[in-house]
């Protein structure tokens, strides 16, 4: 539900009787959206196809990861359920205690573990509430609903950023978790450190605040929120991170949470056994040991980001500020046409209905073709005018 619906909704009606004549899923399942993953580009004769729809790292994993994958043979053995070697490597990399980390199958798997521990159905039989900005990561409403909780979606500001004041106002006695996505997927803006600290001062200390930082390695601006810094000072803050993006391990599903031990002890209880495979753990450790090479690939992608953004600006296209490896184009009713033009030219992008299109930064050749298509597209993206406050 939206924040407005949340504030005005009456008590939910009783559930209709279950159909006992056929096999049916939980009623909640029918109310949830389906996750739409980015699709590969269409094959077009004479053109190399590029996928710019899933925020993947086009440069792939570092050589050490490939060596670890090639040498792995113990597929008949279960993985270490505690991901000990991975947590120890992360402890050294992040300068945090290994006990403060819990691994998950990607950051989404880690999020599902957190929701399973902290949000669902209360002792009174009523659903807990999870507050998050919208539009944001499209898996949020699915994960929240499957956990048995209720989504409270707070609309983004016109520039695509979180409305932290409205999110704080949406917190009620039923709120158990708040999700902050920074940079926000799919719109791009990052949260500033001072704004998040001000927000945390308004949140009750028993509410878990998740700082979802899947794209944190791509950020370059000063003064942005950092979940690792925040969790050290706030017992209710959880940093959610992944190896899928910067490290190029999206296909192996390795993510993790960083939180104080009053939180992580519950996450270990809610985590499915053996959720992160041994080969995924080995690959992640190998990537951390070659972090300089990872950083070089990230810098390549950041350079491509800046080149594409300059090109869009020169063409007169408007877009929200992004510190991620993607850009949001608020094309509105022209979104479908633009996505179709891209597909006809062997580029796949991610369209979100009639709201806009998210484009990942990919190989240099793909980015150049994307800019060429933007140059010829007749409906450049525009941003809404800033909201004016009433004269006082």
Burial label, 15 (beta-carbon count in 10 A; 0-12, 13-18, 19+)? exposed
The yes-or-no verdict on residue 388 having pLDDT over 50 is no
Beta strands in 243-360 (DSSP E): 255-258, 326-329, 347-348, 350-352, 356-360
Distance CA 313, CA 292 (A): 31
Residue 279 has pLDDT above 60, yes or no: yes
- The separation between the first and the last C-alpha atoms of the chain, rounded to the nearest angstrom, is 33
pLDDT at 8 over 60: no
Confidence of residue 31 (pLDDT cuts 50, 70, 90): confident
Q: Give the whole-angstrom CA distance, residue 261 versus residue 267.
A: 9
Question: To which residue do tokens 């900005």 refer?
Answer: 133
Taking the C-alpha atoms of residue 81 and residue 50, their distance in angstroms, rounded to an integer, is 36
List the 208-212 sheet strands across, edge first.
Answer: 101-104, 255-258, 237-242, 208-212, 175-181, 129-134, 150-155
- C-alpha 16/C-alpha 124 separation (Å) is 19
> Residues 105, 253: contact at Cβ < 8 Å?
yes
CA dist., res. 87 & res. 93, Å (int): 10
pLDDT value for 391: 34
Interval 320-343 mean pLDDT: 98
User: If you count them, how many residues does the chain have?
Assistant: 392
- What's the whole-number mean pLDDT along residues 228-234? 98
pLDDT over 50 at 67, yes or no = yes
- Does residue 44 have a cis peptide bond before it, meaning omega lies within 30 degrees of 0? no
Distances (CA, A) of 98 to 18, 93, 114, 373: 46, 11, 18, 47
Helix axes 140-147, 106-118, angle to 10 degrees: 40
Asked if residue 139 lies in contact with residue 35, where contact means CB atoms within 8 angstroms, the answer is yes
| Contact (Cβ atoms closer than 8 angstroms) between residue 236 and residue 201 | no
H-run or E-run covering 104: strand 101-104
Q: Do β-strands 356-360 and 101-104 pair in parallel, antiparallel, or remain unpaired? A: unpaired
How far apart (Å, rounded) are the C-alpha atoms in residues 298 and 286?
Answer: 17
Percentage of residues in the chain having pLDDT higher than 70: 93
Q: Please write the tens of the pLDDT for every residue from 135-175.
A: 999 999 999 999 999 999 999 999 999 999 999 999 999 99
Radius of gyration of the chain (CA): 21
Q: Does the pLDDT at position 390 exceed 90?
A: no
The pLDDT value recorded for residue 66 is 96
> Do the Cβ atoms of 205 and 230 come closer than 8 Å?
no
Is residue 101 predicted with pLDDT exceeding 50?
Answer: yes
CB 249, CB 59: distance < 8 Å = no
Residue 235 dihedral angles phi and psi, to the nearest 5° = -60, -20
Q: Where are the alpha helices (DSSP H) in 350-391?
A: 364-376
Summarize pLDDT for 355-377 with one digit per residue, the tens.
999 999 999 999 999 999 999 99
Domain residue spans in the chain? 30-59+292-376, 63-290
Q: How far is CA 293 from CA 113, 250, 253, in A?
A: 31, 17, 20
- Domain 63-290: CATH architecture, name and number where available: 3-Layer(aba) Sandwich (3.40)
> What fold does the segment set 30-59+292-376 form as a domain?
3.90.1150
Which residues are bridge partners to 241 per DSSP? 256
Which pair of tokens denotes residue 301?
A: 């992608």
| Predicted confidence band of residue 392 (pLDDT cuts 50, 70, 90) | very low
């Amino acid at each position: 539900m939206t924040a407005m619906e949340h504030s005005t909704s009456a008590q939910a009606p009783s559930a209709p009787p279950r159909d006992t004549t056929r096999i049916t899923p939980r009623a909640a399942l029918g109310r949830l959206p389906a996750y739409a993953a980015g699709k590969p580009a269409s094959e077009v004769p004479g053109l190399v196809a590029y996928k710019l729809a899933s925020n993947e790292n086009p440069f792939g994993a570092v050589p050490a990861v490939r060596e670890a994958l090639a040498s792995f043979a113990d597929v008949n053995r279960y993985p270490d359920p505690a991901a000990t070697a991975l947590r120890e490597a992360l402890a050294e990399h992040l300068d945090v205690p290994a006990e403060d980390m819990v691994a998950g199958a990607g950051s989404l798997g880690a999020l599902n573990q957190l929701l399973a521990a902290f949000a669902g159905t209360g002792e009174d039989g009523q659903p807990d509430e999870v507050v998050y900005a919208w539009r944001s990561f499209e898996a949020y409403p699915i994960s929240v609903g499957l956990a048995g909780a209720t989504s409270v979606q707070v609309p983004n500001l016109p520039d695509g950023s979180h409305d932290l004041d409205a999110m704080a106002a949406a917190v009620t006695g039923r709120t158990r978790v708040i999700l902050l996505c920074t940079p926000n997927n799919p719109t791009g803006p990052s949260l500033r450190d001072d704004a998040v600290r001000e927000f945390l001062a308004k949140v009750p200390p028993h509410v878990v605040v998740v700082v979802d930082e899947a794209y944190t390695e791509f950020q370059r601006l000063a003064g942005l929120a950092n979940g690792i810094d925040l969790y050290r000072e706030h017992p209710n803050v959880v940093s959610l991170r992944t190896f899928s993006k910067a490290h190029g391990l999206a296909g192996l599903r390795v993510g993790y949470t960083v939180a104080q031990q009053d939180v992580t002890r519950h996450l270990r209880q809610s985590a499915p056994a053996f959720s992160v495979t041994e080969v995924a753990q080995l690959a992640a450790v190998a990537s951390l040991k070659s972090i300089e090479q990872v950083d070089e690939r990230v810098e390549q992608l950041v350079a491509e980001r800046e080149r594409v953004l300059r090109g869009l600006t020169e063409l007169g296209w408007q877009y929200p500020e992004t510190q991620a490896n993607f850009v949001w184009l608020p094309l509105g009713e022209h979104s479908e046409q633009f996505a179709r033009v891209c597909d006809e030219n062997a580029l796949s992008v991610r369209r979100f209905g009639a709201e806009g299109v998210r484009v990942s930064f990919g190989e240099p050749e793909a980015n150049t073709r994307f800019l060429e298509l933007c140059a010829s597209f007749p409906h450049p993206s525009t941003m809404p005018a800033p909201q004016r406050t009433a004269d006082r």
